[in-house]
Structure formats: C-alpha cells, structure tokens
Amino acid sequence: MTKKLSKKSIAAKVLALLAERYPHPATHLAHKTPWELLAATMLAAQCTDERVNRVTPALFARWPDPAAMARAAPEEVEVYVRSTGFFRNKARNMVGAAQRIMEQYGGEVPKRMEALISLPGVARKTANVVLFGAYGINEGIAVDTHVGRISYRLGLTAAQDPVRAERDLAALFPRAEWGNLNHRLVWFGRQMCMARNPSCNLCEMAGFCPKNGVKQAGAN
C-alpha cells in the first residue's frame, strides 16, 4: 500500500518539481516601474496578461506615473482600458489609487501591505504581486485562480477563499519562495493544470496528486 504523503511532503515535492520545470520564473505583465506593475496587475483582474500587455503601452505613454494618472479623468482612462473588461471600475480605481499615492505616499507606490490594500481596487493578491515583483518583498502568496485551483487539486488547501488559501500555503512553503511559487503555479496552471482538461497524464505530479475536483483525470 502506498503511504499517503503529508501536506508538507507534497509541498516540498511541488516546490522542487516546479523549480525544475520553471527555473527562471517571472511575471508575464510587462512593466518598468512599481507604478506600471501596480496598474497592470489591477487591469489583469478577469483579463489575460496578453490583453493587458497590448493595452498598457499606450496607457503608460499617456499617463506614465501616479502624478500624471492622478490628474486624469476616469472617463478618458476608460477609453484606453475598455478591452480589459470592467473598464469603468478599473479606470476609476487606477485614478483613485494614483491620487492616494500622491496625497499619502509622496508619489511612490508604498512598500507595505497595509498601505497597498488601502488603495482603491487593491486587495491582498494585487498587493502581494506588487511587493514581490517591484520590491522583492515576500509578504504573502498571491492566490489567483490558477494558484487556488492547483493548490486545491493537490490537497494543499481545502479553502475556496483566497485569503484562507494563502494562509494555508504560507504555512507549507518557505517564505523565501512565496513570490516565485506564485509565478510558477500560474505558468503551470496555464500550460498543464488547466481548469478544463488538465494534462494529468503528462504531469510530473500525477504520482502523488489526489486530483481533487478533477473529472476524468488523465484523459488528455
């Protein structure tokens, strides 16, 4: 009888296999500054990175920093971000975030979780992406749809709520790996462990993955 692995053991295997598969993890969102990463991550909600990357060059050329965006009319920003979906909320939140950055943080995207989540439209997931991607700070694990889905399938968390799932994952993985873990799981979710028809028969984790919630696992 095969011995059931503990969550800690599964996490260690996942970490090693993902590092082997993706030795150089990074975000797919094109950016040059903390502000650009923040804006791009806000736009990426319910939108693909590819779509965001098509939108942001013109957006950043028009409003390159918080100072410029803070003076923008949300209606004008909407024209630039319409194709990303939920464009009215996104435009309003970007302008509001820029204004708060100018008023409260001297024009610099803050480096603290509490400050970031005080910005309009910024929750823990976005804040974690910005803290690690812009400043190299591992404050938490950004749990998006890919991270949440894969973590559940692997049995690392039973939580559907991203904040609870983040807490579960943070207890299993070394803090120094949190940011890169997010990138690697996102890539893995796009290429192997898709929402529909995951490639279980090609997956290096198939031998220990409980495949929670997967129907017809290994069909592809």
> Do 7-25+142-202 and 34-135 show the same overall fold?
no
Give 7-25+142-202's CATH code, choosing from 3.60.21.10, 3.90.226.10, 1.10.540.10, 1.10.1670.10. Answer: 1.10.1670.10
pTM equals: 0.92
Given 13, 125, 168, 211, the catalytic residue: 125
Given 90, 144, 161, 211, the catalytic residue: 144
Return the SS3 of 31.
Answer: coil
Domain ranges of the chain: 7-25+142-202, 34-135
Find out whether 155 and 10 touch, Cβ atoms under 8 Å: yes
DSSP, res 5: P
Find out whether 113 and 131 touch, Cβ atoms under 8 Å: yes
CA dihedral (23, 28, 30, 34) in degrees, to 10, reads -80
Any idea which architecture 34-135 has in CATH?
Orthogonal Bundle (1.10)
CA atoms within 13 A on the CB side of 33: 15
Is 3 in the active site?
no
* pLDDT tens readout for residues 14-40: 999 999 999 999 999 999 999 999 999
* pLDDT tens readout for residues 177-211: 999 999 999 999 999 999 999 999 999 999 999 99
Is 144 in the active site?
yes
Tell me the percentage of the chain whose pLDDT exceeds 70: 96
